[in-house]
Amino acid sequence: MTNTPDPAPGTPLLQVEDLRVEFRMRGSTVNAVNGLSYTLAEGETLAILGESGSGKSVSAQAVMGILDTPPAYVTGGAVRFRGTELLGLPEKKRRIYRGAHIAMIFQDALSALNPVHRVGDQIAEMLIVHKGMSRGDARKRAVELMDRVRIPSAASRASDYPHQFSGGMRQRVMIAMALALEPDVLIADEPTTALDVTVQAQIMKLLSDLQDEMAMGLILITHDLGVVADVADRIVVMYAGRVVEQAEVKELYARPAHPYTEGLLASVPRVDVRDRALTPIKGAPPNLAAIPAGCPFHPRCPRAREERCPDEVPALRDVTGTGHGSACHYAEEVLGG
């Protein structure tokens, strides 16, 4: 629908390079994202895993171009959609990509939907604004979309208001809205965190079905190691605004190459294993206004060593020769167990 130049062959669908975001608050600067890089291929599911304050949501908002400035400033890096750099674009052009090429869904569907408009109208609005459809056509299409996300009796429910839907159904409405313009990339920020586990299973299944149908790239932002293991092709693990590890999903769970990932896997209780001893990571995630020098994880790391970790920031490097990246000086030791 928009005239994007044909990208060179081999250009990734989405490429984020050395992205930096800071929040300028009175008296302090919060460094939320500190040099984040990843790529997303067509049809791929990439999970961005991190705890609170890891920068996972802020980085997604920067990719979407929906950060509030001030206080947030993108201070460096690049976001390329099929080779086109988005960060420098004026808002008018940027808007063409938002929704039409890259769409996003959020954890809290209730606050993402307008409470005083019927959901059918809210979905139709997207189509009227972006595609120039007539109101009648847009309404019809909205009902089709609601049907597509498996909302029962979509035609009548289109004239209901958001509060009349359950949490799971609201999340479906938001997915219908995100898919209205048939985006190439869908960013899902903790899409099931507020939902019960049986509803979570419904929504994750829906997302993966839709991804297959529409051949979308999916970025799944989550803190849940179980959800990641279930659906992702590849994982990026974030800590203090940086990537500390990235790998294919099976590789990462079988052979973590960063002590933080190793610690997370040892911390999580499992529903399918009896009497599993938990080995927590000591301490708490860092304050982003005062990220530790050197490796940001070193104060909590059981493998940290005086000679390098407190001073030298470890670079993300391929530690297996097969694209398994780790930002740990001693990644080889972690791999060795």
Partner 1 sequence: MADEILQVENLVKHFPLTQGVVFKHQVGQVKAVDGVSFALHRGETLGLVGESGCGKSTLAKLLMALERPTSGSVRFEDQDVFALSRAELRRLRRRVQMVLQDPYTSLNPRMTVGDIVGEPFAIHGDPEGGRRRRVRELLEVVGLDPDHVNRYPHQFSGGQRQRIGIARALALRPDVIVCDEPVSALDVSVQAQVMNLLADLQKEFGLSYVFIAHDLAVVRHISDRVAVMYLGKIVEIGDEEQIYDHPTHPYTQALLSAVPVPDPTRRGTPIVLEGDVPSPTNPPSGCRFRTRCWKAQDVCATEEPLLQVRAARGPDDGADGGVTGSSHPSACHFADEKTARD
Between strands 325-326 and 242-248, the pairing is: antiparallel
Contacts of 150 (CB under 8 A, 6+ apart): 172, 206
Comparing CB distances to partner 1, the nearer of 84 and 202 is 202
Comparing CB distances to partner 1, the nearer of 114 and 166 is 166
User: In which element (H, E) is residue 289 found?
Assistant: none
Comparing CB distances to partner 1, the nearer of 93 and 270 is 270
Report the interface residues with partner 1, using CB under 8 A. Answer: 51-52, 152, 166-169, 196-202, 204-205, 223-230, 232, 249-250, 253-254, 263-272, 274, 276, 278-282, 284-285, 300
Comparing CB distances to partner 1, the nearer of 33 and 204 is 204
Minimum CB separation of residue 153 from partner 1 in Å reads 12
Minimum CB separation of residue 3 from partner 1 in Å reads 40
Comparing CB distances to partner 1, the nearer of 76 and 292 is 292
User: In which element (H, E) is residue 223 found?
Assistant: none
Distances (CA, A) of 134 to 138, 140, 159: 6, 10, 18
Token pair, residue 229, equals 């293991």
Minimum CB separation of residue 332 from partner 1 in Å reads 23
Contacts of 82 (CB under 8 A, 6+ apart): 4, 7, 11, 13, 14, 184
Minimum CB separation of residue 329 from partner 1 in Å reads 21
Q: Are 304 and 314 in contact (CB under 8 A)?
A: no
Minimum CB separation of residue 220 from partner 1 in Å reads 12
Comparing CB distances to partner 1, the nearer of 30 and 124 is 30
**Residue 285's closest CA among 304, 295, 299, 306?**
299
Minimum CB separation of residue 39 from partner 1 in Å reads 20
